[in-house]
Chains A and B, each alone.
Chain A
Amino acid sequence: MQDTVKLHFDVSGNDFTCAGEASGKIKRTLKQLGFDISLVRNVAIAVYEAEINMVIHADGGVIDVDIDSDCITVVLKDRGPGIPDIELAMKEGYSTAPENVRMLGFGAGMGLPNIKKYTDEMNIDTVIGVGTTITLKVYNK
């Protein structure tokens, strides 16, 4: 793979049933490009959790993916309310998701911890009332 493959997705905020559509496409693209199955899965799980977060908390956003042979970089940008306390949000089991989201199988407070677990680097840039940008990197070792 010589050149960087770039992907862009607009994530709708009002349709929970479609959440995960972008993650699925990213996963299938990485698979087609011949990346190792566990790397593909790690990226897919992390982006899926982040995409779900985007739909639940921020009314959607955009996802940009840069695929290089040695590193996958995913930037998820939303214009949501921001995260007041990142340290608290990183705690397993802590969640601010509403009850209707829990009924759908999410909101267990595992989103951010899971994202961190499956990526090599995770950077959260958040401003209250402006939005959150999460940058994820997974290296192809």
Chain B
Amino acid sequence: MKVKELVEILDGSVIFGEDYLDRDVFKACGSDMMSDVLAFVKEQAVLLTGLVNPQVVRTAEMMDIQCIVFVRGKNPDISIINLAEDREIPLISTNLEMFTSCGRLYEHGLRGGSGV
């Protein structure tokens, strides 16, 4: 799934990363707990989170995550956006809640790290 398809599916808006919308994402994880995200490596994943702080971007950086989605209409501040620009990680915002966001992406074929 391309990042731009993901934006459509989630009725999302692109906060940063118009240039990266053609990136492919193959896996997804949804968590507000960054240590849980760090526990399982997924190739070319999207991270959905309700947490808004710079450590979300740093966690994504370490994990080679392709795209971050902030759920429940949350918006990162400029320091987070700047960090994401520097690390070349697109940021998406959706008004959907976590469960619904994950459900929609699952419905469109995206899976977690274990493939289920």
B51 at interface, CB cutoff 8 A: yes
* C-alpha spacing A45/B42, complex, angstroms: 13
A110 at interface, CB cutoff 8 A: yes
* C-alpha spacing A107/B51, complex, angstroms: 14
| CB of B68 to closest CB in A, whole Å | 12
On chain A, the residues within 8 Å of B53 by CB distance are: 17, 104-105
Task: List the count of A-B residue pairs having beta carbons below 8 Å apart.
Answer: 73
Can you list, as one digit per residue, whether each of A101-125 has a CB less than 8 Å from chain B (1) or not (0)? 0001111111101100100000000
Our pick among A27, A52, A106, A109 for the contact of B61 (Cβ within 8 Å) is A27
CB within 8 Å for A105 and B58 given contacts A45-B63, A114-B39? no
CB within 8 Å for A117 and B58 given contacts A45-B63, A106-B34? no
A60 at interface, CB cutoff 8 A: no
In the complex the two chains form, is B39's CB within 8 Å of A17's CB?
no
On chain A, the residues within 8 Å of B38 by CB distance are: 45, 48-49, 110, 114
| CB of B24 to closest CB in A, whole Å | 16
On chain A, the residues within 8 Å of B79 by CB distance are: 17
| CB of B67 to closest CB in A, whole Å | 17
Chain A interface residue bracket vs B:
20 to 34
On chain B, the residues within 8 Å of A48 by CB distance are: 38, 58-59, 62
Can you list, as one digit per residue, whether each of A72-115 has a CB less than 8 Å from chain B (1) or not (0)? 00000000000000000000000000000000111111110110
Which residue of A is nearest B31, CB measured? Answer: A105
In the complex the two chains form, is B36's CB within 8 Å of A106's CB?
no
On chain A, the residues within 8 Å of B87 by CB distance are: 24
Q: A49-B38, A105-B56, A106-B33 are in contact. List 20 more A-B contacts (CB 8 A).
A: A17-B54, A17-B79, A19-B55, A19-B58, A20-B61, A24-B58, A24-B61, A48-B59, A48-B62, A49-B35, A104-B53, A105-B32, A105-B34, A105-B49, A105-B51, A105-B55, A107-B35, A111-B35, A114-B38, A117-B39
Q: Which residues of A contact B (CB under 8 A)?
A: 16-17, 19-20, 23-24, 27, 37-38, 41, 44-45, 48-49, 52, 104-111, 113-114, 117
In the A-B complex, the 3 residue pairs with the smallest Cβ-Cβ separation, listed nearest first, are A20-B58, A110-B35, A105-B34
Provide a sorted-by-A list of 14 A–B residue pairs whose CB atoms are within 8 angstroms: A20-B61, A23-B58, A27-B61, A37-B64, A41-B62, A44-B61, A49-B38, A52-B55, A104-B34, A104-B51, A104-B55, A105-B35, A109-B35, A113-B39
